[in-house]
Amino acid sequence: MEKRLSTYNPNTHETTITDNYMSIEKTESDRFLIGMFIIGVISVSIIIFIFNQFGLIREFSLIFSTQFLSGREFAMLNGASLEVSLYVMILVSFISDIGSLMIGLPIFVIFHEELKQFPLMTPFMNFSEMITSRKGGLMHKFGLVGIFMICFIPFQMTGGLATACFAKLLGFSVREILPVVAIASLVASVFWAVTADTVMQYLGPVQHYIPYFIVLVVASILLYNFMHYQNR
């Protein structure tokens, strides 16, 4: 399948699209990206240790895995249905976004061409190039505000890491991406955690079936991605 090269200028908000394979404009050195990766790994390791010390590793794993696989709103619903503290949900959701960004974005940038060769990465790589090649997309129209909006909205592939990868393909620098995504992630974590907690207060006994619903949704998403890109 032929792909398109999308070159975005954040200063003029103009996008040039040509028929070619997408590549990333390197606005940071590999040393900077490797340092970012190392800081991310160390930070996440320390945070996991702290959560484990406070007996919250189960809650951390639950929300992180659900958010990574299916999106923030499902992670918040899952946590709220199991009566995880509102503050814990917000903290874990925010940490999951930033931790994934710090670790995943350097890999995405440095090994962008290599990642296209891995079948498991094909859905995300194709989706990211499709999103960033659309002239009518939020990030094309609104720049940094568009990045905030993409990170804030729910559903799969709208978290901190995915949003950062989309923005990087458009030519934004990590120094521009990181603060915007961090603010959007924090606001979204608070909003969706409060929303999920409020919803659960009206569901009563039904809330105990939510985790089964989440498992079904995640399995359906993974199966759809696998079947869709296997047949392309």
Q: What are the residues whose beta carbons fall under 8 Å from the beta carbon of 103, sequence distance 6 or more? A: 37, 40, 41, 44
CA distance 53 to 10: 44
Domain ranges of the chain: 4-230
For residue 136, the model assigns a pLDDT of 60
Q: Is the pLDDT of residue 194 over 60?
A: yes
pLDDT tens figures, 16-27: 443 444 567 667
**pTM as predicted:** 0.74
Q: What is the pLDDT of residues 83-119, one digit of tens each?
A: 889 999 999 999 999 999 999 999 999 988 888 787 7
Cβ atoms of 57 and 51 within 8 Å: the answer is yes
Whether the CB-CB separation of 146 and 136 falls below 8 Å is answered with no
